[in-house]
Amino acid sequence: MENNLILPALILVPFIAGFVCWLVDKLDQHLPRWIALIGMVITLGLTVILWSHGNYHYELGSQAPTFAAQFYLPWISSLGISIHLAVDGLSLLMVGLTALLGILAVGCSWGEIQKNVGFFHLNLLWSLGGVIGVFLAIDMFLFFFFWEMMLVPIYFLIALWGHAGSNGHSRVYAATKFFIYTQVSGLIMLIGILGLVVWGYIMTNGVINFDYNFLLAVANHLPPSFAYGFMVCMFIGFAVKLPVFPLHGWLPDAHAQAPTAGSVDLAGILIKTAAYGLLRFVIPFFPAASAQFADIAIVLGLIGVFYGAWCAYQQTDMKRLLAYSSISHMGFVLLAIYAGNIITYQGLMIMMLAHGLSSAALFIMCGQIYERLHTRDMRLMGGMRGQFRYLPFFLMFFVAALVGIPGLGNFIGEFLILMGSFGKYPTFTIIAAISLVLAGLYGLILIHRSLFGTPNPEQKQHYANPLKDLSAREIAILMICVIGLVWLGIYPQTFLDVSHSSMQWLANSYIPVHNGVDLMQQAVSQLDNVEIQ
């Protein structure tokens, strides 16, 4: 296997750039911003190179995903742990989204962050590097390493640079709550991973290995009870990060207190790692157990869809409204994953990209509005449409995208998910479709309260003088999201072609197969044929 050096570079560039930002902080306050921006632009450029040179075609009958590029380096050989990175269509698009939103996160914090600028960008870029590591790692130990590592810098982003909570909760409280939720769920997921490794050790008489293909062969020949138990452990690990009702408690507080770049990181990228984990590991490792668990997962998703929409409708804080809207949209993710066919998986890919762009843009706009009005409380807004030239257009555009207006990416994703899942789960699909009405409701409330009506008396001091409209930098950041959403809505085929092979393999693997042969013997014979570098 030829090592592709672009893969480790995708992880190292943000790490190195972040470290340099911290080192040069004392020289000039603006230097870390430029270094961080250049680092993320290089990362995006490397992703484009992988896209243009990679072969993402599906090989019929393949027992494992067809990776377009791989990098292998032995690490802890005695424990079967290696630095094994690989990219296919699924991970490539996720890495590209991470790099693009990383550029936007650096850009939107340009004027917002004024203290410890170097250390801020160290944490921001290290969290992005950890996310990219999650998307590329196919050694399960390395995957878990990046999964846990990316939590620490996000904790510091919220705890050190977050906003004071409007409901009395401090930023340290929100950061600690986020860390505890995700840390505990990560340890539960680790039980599932180690269970697979131990089972492989038993079946092969002493071989310890964390490699993806090895564990795939082990997992697909587990006794049903063990498979179900390990699957639930891994599902919980990913469900908290997604987040799935009722494991969502950390998200609203984390969003409300996080700085703008932290919210972009959380909504646009972090929760996508959970959907990626379900697709990459839970479905192919445990197809039969997942099929058995599907009804429970979809019901939880549908509860989350309505619960998130209702809570969003109740909010007065703009950021908390958007946080609950993310919980609502993630219910569609569970429906797509457990409906388990190529149409829903392709729809899920478009939805993840579109939701990443639209939610990130709206959180960026929350920061822009807060900078001008010094509040996120929609009861204190009103009348903004007459005060700004550009801001109302962008706010209405991104709310329209979030609620699924045709012609934009979110609509394509939701349409494909509903169309693909109707054949298998017609009742659940109809219920999910009804929830789209609620999305329109909280979207219209956001628009009405902030842009229309008359200014609140408490805000008249800000309206006495003309408020500063969006700067060229702010418009450029938002235009990137506009172009991306229109591209996804008008010509999604660009992205569907890249992800098709990965999604086709996943759809094929999600066919539960039970037979009466000795599972242990069959697994041993298959493990003997697994090629491990």
Burial class (CB in 10 A: 0-12, 13-18, 19+), 491: exposed
What does the alpha-carbon distance between residue 445 and residue 315 come to, in Å, rounded to a whole number? Answer: 10
Q: Is the dihedral of CA 433, 438, 440, 446 positive or negative?
A: negative
Q: What is the band of 525 on the pLDDT scale with cuts at 50, 70, 90?
A: very low
| Nearest of 363, 364, 290, 355 to residue 321 by alpha carbon | 363
- The secondary structure of 361-426, three-state, reads HHHHHHHHHHHHHCCCEHHHCCCHHHCCCCHHHHHHHHHHHHCCCCCCHHHHHHHHHHHHHHCCCH
What does the alpha-carbon distance between residue 84 and residue 213 come to, in Å, rounded to a whole number? Answer: 11
What does the alpha-carbon distance between residue 392 and residue 104 come to, in Å, rounded to a whole number? Answer: 20
Q: What is the pLDDT of residue 520?
A: 40
Q: What is the pLDDT of residue 523?
A: 40
What does the alpha-carbon distance between residue 502 and residue 496 come to, in Å, rounded to a whole number? Answer: 10
Label the pairing between strands 81-87 and 69-76: antiparallel
User: Side-chain half-sphere of 17: how many Cα atoms within 13 Å?
Assistant: 29
Please tell me the total number of residues recorded for the chain in this structure: 533
Query: pLDDT digits over 353-412, tens only?
Result: 999 899 899 988 888 888 877 777 777 777 777 777 788 888 889 988 888 888 888 889
Cβ neighbours for 435, distance < 8 A, ≥ 6 positions apart: 302, 305, 306, 309, 328, 331
Q: Is the dihedral of CA 275, 279, 281, 285 positive or negative?
A: positive
Residue 166, pLDDT > 50, answer no
Mean of the per-residue pLDDT values for the chain?
83
CA dihedral defined by 16, 21, 26, 29, rounded to 10 degrees? 160
**What is the mean pLDDT of the segment spanning 507-523?**
50
Q: What is the band of 515 on the pLDDT scale with cuts at 50, 70, 90?
A: very low
Query: pLDDT digits over 100-144, tens only?
Result: 999 998 888 887 777 777 888 899 999 999 999 999 998 889 999
What does the alpha-carbon distance between residue 113 and residue 105 come to, in Å, rounded to a whole number? Answer: 11
Q: What is the band of 99 on the pLDDT scale with cuts at 50, 70, 90?
A: very high
**Helices assigned H by DSSP within 165-223:** 171-203, 212-219
Query: pLDDT digits over 42-66, tens only?
Result: 999 999 988 888 777 656 556 667 7
Residue type, 355: H
Q: Which residues of 406-445 are buried (b: 16+ CB within 10 A; e: fewer)?
A: eebbbbbbbbbbbebbbeebeebbebbeebbebbbebbeb
Cβ atoms 503, 346 nearer than 8 A = yes
CA distances from 279 to 120, 275, 287, 496, 504 (A): 32, 6, 11, 16, 12
Q: What is the pLDDT of residue 513?
A: 40
Q: What residue ranges do the domains of the chain occupy?
A: 6-55+64-527
Q: What is the pLDDT of residue 58?
A: 59
Query: pLDDT digits over 431-490, tens only?
Result: 888 888 888 888 888 888 888 867 667 666 666 566 777 788 888 989 999 999 999 999
Beta bridge partners of 71: 85
**What is the mean pLDDT of the segment spanning 203-225?**
83
What does the alpha-carbon distance between residue 312 and residue 251 come to, in Å, rounded to a whole number? Answer: 13
CA dihedral defined by 65, 66, 72, 77, rounded to 10 degrees? 30
Query: pLDDT digits over 288-332, tens only?
Result: 888 888 888 889 988 888 888 888 888 888 888 888 888 888 888
What does the alpha-carbon distance between residue 64 and residue 523 come to, in Å, rounded to a whole number? Answer: 15
Beta bridge partners of 137: 85
Q: What is the pLDDT of residue 255?
A: 81
Q: What is the band of 533 on the pLDDT scale with cuts at 50, 70, 90?
A: very low
